[in-house]
Amino acid sequence: MSFYKGSSSWENGQAVEAEFYALLLLRDPKARKATQQEQFNHVDYVSYHGTFDVKAMGQLRRNDHRQQGEFRWLELNNVRGEVGWLLAEDMDYLAFERVDDFIIVRREDVRLLAKELCTFDYVSSAGDALYNLYSRNGRKDLLTVIRTDDMLVLDHRLWAKS
Residue 57 lies in a domain: yes
Q: What digits encode the pLDDT tens for the residues 115-131?
A: 999 998 999 999 999 99
- Give me the numbers of helices (H) and strands (E) for the chain, helices first please: 3, 10
**Is 1 inside a domain boundary?**
no
**Overall domain count for the chain:** 1
Establish if 153 belongs to a structural domain.
yes
Note whether residue 138 is domain-resident. Answer: yes
Least confident segment among 15-24, 53-62, 133-142? 53-62
pLDDT tens profile 11-41 = 777 899 999 999 999 999 999 999 999 999 9
Instruction: Note whether residue 67 is domain-resident.
Output: yes
Residue 135 is part of which domain span?
A: 8-160
Mean pLDDT, rounded, of the chain: 90
Is 41 part of any domain?
Answer: yes
Please give the Cα distance from 100 to 161 (Å, whole number). 6
- pTM for the model stands at 0.90
pLDDT at 2 (0 to 100) = 43
pLDDT of 1 > 90? The answer is: no
